[in-house]
């Protein structure tokens, strides 16, 4: 089984100085994917905020994805997009990012949605919320059972998301998740975001 990796999400709202903090977190070499997920950010601020984030990710060799917006993923030369069930349909996202772009799909706690996404060609499926989360209002809660089932049956990678922290990540990793997606568990960590990814690194390597 391949080593589980950290899939980092931005906070829902940032300021221009955030890129410096992101840079120090990515410099730890723990995160392999960054999803830019600025749900609470006014859209007119995005053209100023996105390029430095993409640049930081690429500087550290981190795959960078845009949440919901395949058009922005293309415009700002990102590696791909993550779409939810209420966002751009998979076919539209794939058409925009192209064959070589990454398209990941939220599948909540649904085996059917995940199998459908994989059959269509999704590069990964995401299950959650694994735990209660303050970052968003989850549409569903998922158990580690679905991670275990998916990892045993399918080749397409799966991402576990929702309320994951350094303290509760182990059961999700041991269930076979290919990636753990973390937002608040890093940015709101009591000892700070750099300490959070260091702690996550220890949990990931203990697998």
Domain containing residue 172: CATH number: 3.20.20.70
Confidence of residue 1 (pLDDT cuts 50, 70, 90): low
Q: Are 79 and 65 in contact (CB under 8 A)?
A: yes
DSSP-assigned letter for residue 88:
S
pLDDT at 87: 86
How many helices (DSSP H) and strands (DSSP E) are in the chain? 9, 8
In this prediction, residue 103 carries a pLDDT of: 98
For the record, the structure tokens of 132 come out as 């209660």
How many other C-beta atoms can be found within 10 angstroms of the C-beta atom of residue 148? Answer: 14
The answer to whether residues 23 and 50 touch, using CB atoms and an 8 Å cutoff, is: no
Q: Residue 200: which domain range? A: 5-205
Task: Compute the average pLDDT of residues 108-127.
Answer: 98
Beta bridge partners of 128: 161
Distance separating alpha carbons of residues 123 and 193, to the nearest angstrom? 28
Q: How far is CA 197 from CA 57, 83, 202, in A?
A: 15, 25, 9
Give the Cα separation of 159 and 137 in Å (integer): 18
Interval 165-202: pLDDT, tens: 999 999 999 999 999 999 999 999 999 999 999 999 99
pLDDT tens per residue, range 65-101: 999 999 999 999 999 999 999 988 999 999 999 999 9
- Which pLDDT band holds residue 136 (cuts at 50, 70, 90)? confident
Residue 31: φ, ψ to 5°: -75, 135
Q: Are 186 and 201 in contact (CB under 8 A)?
A: no
The model's confidence at residue 104, banded by pLDDT at 50, 70 and 90, is: very high
The model's confidence at residue 24, banded by pLDDT at 50, 70 and 90, is very high
Is the confidence at residue 119, as pLDDT, over 90? yes
**Structural domains of the chain, count:** 1
């Amino acid at each position: 089984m391949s080593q589980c990796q950290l899939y980092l999400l931005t906070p829902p709202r940032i300021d221009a100085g955030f890129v410096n903090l992101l840079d120090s977190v990515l410099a730890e070499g723990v995160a392999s994917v960054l999803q830019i997920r600025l749900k609470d950010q006014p859209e007119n601020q995005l053209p100023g905020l996105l390029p430095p984030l993409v640049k930081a990710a690429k500087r550290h060799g981190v795959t960078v994805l845009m949440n919901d917006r395949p058009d922005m993923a293309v415009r700002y030369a990102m590696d791909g997009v993550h779409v939810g069930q209420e966002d751009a349909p998979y076919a539209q996202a794939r058409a925009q990012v192209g064959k070589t772009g990454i398209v990941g799909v939220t599948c909540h706690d649904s085996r059917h949605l995940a199998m459908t996404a994989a059959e269509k060609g999704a590069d990964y499926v995401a299950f959650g919320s694994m735990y209660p989360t303050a970052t968003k209002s989850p549409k569903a809660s998922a158990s580690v059972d679905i991670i275990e089932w998916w990892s045993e049956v399918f080749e397409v990678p799966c991402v576990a998301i929702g309320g994951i922290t350094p303290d509760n990540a182990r059961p999700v990793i041991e269930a076979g998740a290919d990636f753990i997606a973390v937002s608040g568990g890093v940015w709101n960590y009591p000892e700070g975001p750099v300490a959070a990814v260091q702690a996550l690194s220890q949990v990931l390597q203990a697998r």
